[in-house]
Chains A and B, each alone.
Chain A
Amino acid sequence: MSSATGTMRVVSRNFAVPNMAKLDVATKHGAYEMLKRAVKLKPDEVTAIVKASGLRGHGGAGFSAGMKWGFVPKDKFPRYVCVNGDESEPGTCKDRLIFERDPHLMLEGALICAYAVQAERIYIYIRGEYFYPAKVMQAAVDEARAKGFVGENILKSGWSCSAHLATGAGAYICGEETGLLESLEGKKGWPRLKPPFYPAAVGLWGAPTIVNNVETLAFVPRILEMGAEQFAALGSPKNGGTSLFSLSGHVAKPGVYELPMGTPLKSLIYECGGGIPNGRKLKAVIPGGSSSHILKAEECEDLKLDFESVAAAGSMLGSAAVMVIDDTVSIPRLMLWMTRFYAHESCGQCTPCREGTGWLLRLAKKLLDGKGTRKDIDDMYEVADNIDGKTICALGAAVAWPTKSYLVKYRDEFEALVKG
């Protein structure tokens, strides 16, 4: 594992450097050198490099970042870049570290993105509960502005771009990119109907807008530094580079690990995470945040952590938040924690999600209280199935998929709660 733990720190390379959030320390470690290089290239050339690197979104959907940048209509101005720092998916806690430990790296990536799409403003949207990360990020933006990396005629390129922080106010749905835009516009974060329009074409205030996750943008300066080919070679086919994996739950050494895409799940759990403590056994893994299908221990044997491999195993890599569950955990109880989240966070716009999430939570409680029936188990599946695919945004699927997978894979545990 030494190669993974020792040499694969791409985005996290400087996390342990004291005071890395300060501009003078950051510039000593190369901050903004790649922005200098980028503004000497044509904007389309920058996009082409990012496309060639195989960089995919680290916020959950895994869409090609360079391709997204290329969707901006050629003739529409103004344009915006929104950094999605509304990290709220249970299990996911890696963007927090970028904000706190190397904010200039992300800001540099956002500026390079803004240059590539010729945007005039960057909004860094941070979830409201991230008070400390937001303070560090704001200080970094202020310092970068004072030194001319943000503002008018950046690095004498003739291109100007401002950067501003915006904070969420406690709503998971604002991590959905159009919910984020609505929130940024001063409204409740109700996701927008799509297609036909995606934010790259019609985004903030109707203008072309690139919404990228914090980690995704933090990789951009590194891609320019090492070159697209070398970055792509770090990962597995179709999955360029490395990823920050948020490891939580029943492991001896939880934490955030940077590993090449395609690293075996077992390496993450046993070599990095030190295995399952207290002599217990692995029961299940949630591989990509709470919205992903649960995998039984036997399904994890040969699993590799990249988008295609996890999808082939019937789940999704999502935000690369791996939650490890040992054999002491009751899956119906896990269902309660999971459905409570989605019932609270459903924005209320779509009836199947608004009503269904609460219904699922009530049924989960009823079963755990020993008052459930076999029909309640079937009803849970049916309710989940009636949410799935029938909502404007992915929050509906985010509760339907895990619900169905818990019920199918651990049906016996639910039935054991039912009398008769």
Chain B
Amino acid sequence: MSVNYPQIPEALHKKAEDIFFRYPPEHREAGLVPLMFEAQKVLGFISPETEHWLAEQCHVSLVKVREVLTFYSMMRSAAVGKYLIQYCQNISCCLMGGEAVLAHLEQKLGIHAGQTTPDKLFTLRCVECLGGCSWGPMLLVNEDQYYQLTPAKIDKLIDGFKSGNPVVPDNPTPLLGNVGEVAEA
């Protein structure tokens, strides 16, 4: 298999078997979304060759793979920067001043949403609701969450990534409300 698909590392083949194990053997198609995620994690994005590999692995037609790849907003067919910033632009975040913070972030990075910085360090994307509504404005950098953003926090965040000393992410989500300690307003 790996001879035909030199871009697919052996570890990914192994991962595929782990994934298919989660589903009844007659339903290999179910492994498509998780395997696509794994491939994307390793390879950066899903190339046409990888689409072929996915189709073979999951026993589905190529058009099915393309359908899934283009349907889900987190799947990508082109490379992104080292730090993929997903910025929430929905109601709760906007109510908390999210639009002004986004404008500051765009200025700080020197790019607009949808673009990648020339040094390929940052890609900025606006997304619809990240489920951090009580802690907004919020964003994700790769797999880490950052809450209660302000222009000052954005500066610290971006400078931290640039200098190789990233700000500690808000993992886990802080407790606000009566479900834990009530935070000071």
Is B179's CB under 8 angstroms from A90's CB? Answer: no
Within 8 Å by CB of B135, from A9, A127, A172, A254, lies: A254
Is A272's CB under 8 angstroms from B178's CB? Answer: yes
Q: Does A41 touch B at the CB level, under 8 Å?
A: no
Within 8 Å by CB of B92, from A129, A172, A323, lies: A323
Closest to A166 in B: B34
Is A186's CB under 8 angstroms from B30's CB? Answer: yes
- For A103-137 the 0/1 string (1 means CB < 8 A from B) is 00000000000000000000000011111100010
Min C-beta distance of A339 to chain B, whole Å: 11
Which residues of chain A (157-198) have a CB below 8 Å from chain B? Answer: 164, 166-172, 183-189
A345 contacts across to B, CB distance below 8 A: 128
Q: A186-B60, A248-B95 are in contact. Are A172 and B128 (CB under 8 A)?
A: yes
Q: Does A154 touch B at the CB level, under 8 Å?
A: no
Q: Does B49 touch A at the CB level, under 8 Å?
A: no
Is A12's CB under 8 angstroms from B71's CB? Answer: no
Is B181's CB under 8 angstroms from A16's CB? Answer: yes
Q: Does A256 touch B at the CB level, under 8 Å?
A: yes
Q: Does B75 touch A at the CB level, under 8 Å?
A: yes
A169 contacts across to B, CB distance below 8 A: 33, 36-37, 68, 72-75
Is A172's CB under 8 angstroms from B176's CB? Answer: no
Question: In the docked arrangement, what's the CA distance between A274 and B178, Å?
Answer: 12
Question: In the docked arrangement, what's the CA distance between A88 and B129, Å?
Answer: 6
Interface residues on A, range: 35 or more
Is B133's CB under 8 angstroms from A90's CB? Answer: yes
B31 contacts across to A, CB distance below 8 A: 186
Q: Does B173 touch A at the CB level, under 8 Å?
A: yes
Is A128's CB under 8 angstroms from B72's CB? Answer: yes
Question: In the docked arrangement, what's the CA distance between A131 and B140, Å?
Answer: 9
Q: Does A252 touch B at the CB level, under 8 Å?
A: yes
Q: Does B90 touch A at the CB level, under 8 Å?
A: yes
Which residues of chain A (3-19) have a CB below 8 Å from chain B? Answer: 4-5, 8-9, 12, 15-16
Question: In the docked arrangement, what's the CA distance between A184 and B72, Å?
Answer: 13
Q: Does A97 touch B at the CB level, under 8 Å?
A: yes
Q: Does A315 touch B at the CB level, under 8 Å?
A: no
Q: A96-B131, A132-B144 are in contact. Are A90 and B90 (CB under 8 A)?
A: yes
Q: Which of B32, B74, B140 has the most CB of A within 10 A?
A: B74
Within 8 Å by CB of A100, from B33, B37, B172, B183, lies: B172
Q: Does B67 touch A at the CB level, under 8 Å?
A: yes
Is A15's CB under 8 angstroms from B179's CB? Answer: yes
Q: Which of B22, B72, B91, B96 has the most CB of A within 10 A?
A: B91
Is B183's CB under 8 angstroms from A253's CB? Answer: yes
A185 contacts across to B, CB distance below 8 A: 27, 29-30
Is B173's CB under 8 angstroms from A257's CB? Answer: no
B171 contacts across to A, CB distance below 8 A: 132
Q: Does A370 touch B at the CB level, under 8 Å?
A: no
Q: Does A150 touch B at the CB level, under 8 Å?
A: no
Which residues of chain A (314-340) have a CB below 8 Å from chain B? Answer: 321, 323, 325, 329, 334, 337-338, 340
Is A257's CB under 8 angstroms from B129's CB? Answer: no
Which residues of chain A (231-283) have a CB below 8 Å from chain B? Answer: 244, 246-250, 252-259, 272, 274, 277
Q: Does B119 touch A at the CB level, under 8 Å?
A: no
Q: Does B182 touch A at the CB level, under 8 Å?
A: yes
Within 8 Å by CB of A257, from B60, B90, B177, lies: B177
A248 contacts across to B, CB distance below 8 A: 92, 95-96, 133-134, 136
Min C-beta distance of B93 to chain A, whole Å: 9
Closest to B143 in A: A131
Q: A171-B72, A341-B90 are in contact. Are A93 and B131 (CB under 8 A)?
A: yes
Can you name 9 A-B residue pairings with CB atoms under 8 Å?
A90-B90, A128-B72, A170-B72, A186-B30, A255-B178, A323-B91, A337-B94, A340-B128, A347-B71
Q: Told that A16-B181, A129-B86, A337-B91 touch, could you supply 11 new A-B pairs with CB distance under 8 A?
A: A15-B175, A78-B24, A87-B131, A96-B132, A129-B130, A132-B173, A169-B74, A186-B29, A255-B179, A256-B179, A258-B179
Shortest beta-carbon contacts, A-B, top 6 = A255-B177, A255-B176, A169-B72, A170-B73, A170-B74, A131-B143
